[in-house]
Homo-oligomer: A and B are copies of this chain.
Amino acid sequence: MPFDLQPSFRALSDPSRRDILRLLGAQEMSVADVAQHFDMTRAAVKKHLNVLDEGGLITTRKRGRERLNRLNAEGLRPVVDWLSWFDQFWDQRLDALKAAIEEIEDPNLTPKETEDD
């Protein structure tokens, strides 16, 4: 069964959640800490954190009565992998451009094969 990308993409689809992610990149933070950076109630932030957690984009641990939220960059991997499927489409254009430039700079270079490979 294929990995379900939906929770991850869904988590990334909200600007506040993307901001939270980058915020957590700086350091592990409690719910209240995160909430302090936004014009939202703590409850709203908590919901966002839940969605991020479901998307596998953060991990949490309890310390005393507070819940610390940490960025889980590994969770972005499936998303990046999915996106990388499209590399073939701009790479072909980019490769063509690069080849054209190289052709101009060095007309004797044959782009088809390189022998020292």
Footprint of B on A, CB under 8 Å? 5-6, 9-10, 12-13, 15, 18, 21-22, 25, 71, 73-74, 76-77, 79-80, 82-83, 85-86, 88-90
Contacts and interface: CB of A to CB of B under 8 A. Distances in A.
Copies in the complex: 2
Given A73-B90, A76-B83, A83-B83, A9 B6 contact: no
Q: Is the interface of A mostly helix, strand, loop or mixed?
A: helix
Nearest to A72: B89
Given A13-B13, A18-B9, A77 B89 contact: no
Contacts of A74: 90
Contacts of A86: 21, 25, 71, 73, 76
B89 A83 contact: no
Contacts of A85: 22, 25
Most buried by B among A5, A79, A86: A86
A22 B77 CA distance: 19
7 contacts: A6-B15, A9-B12, A10-B13, A12-B12, A22-B85, A76-B90, A77-B90
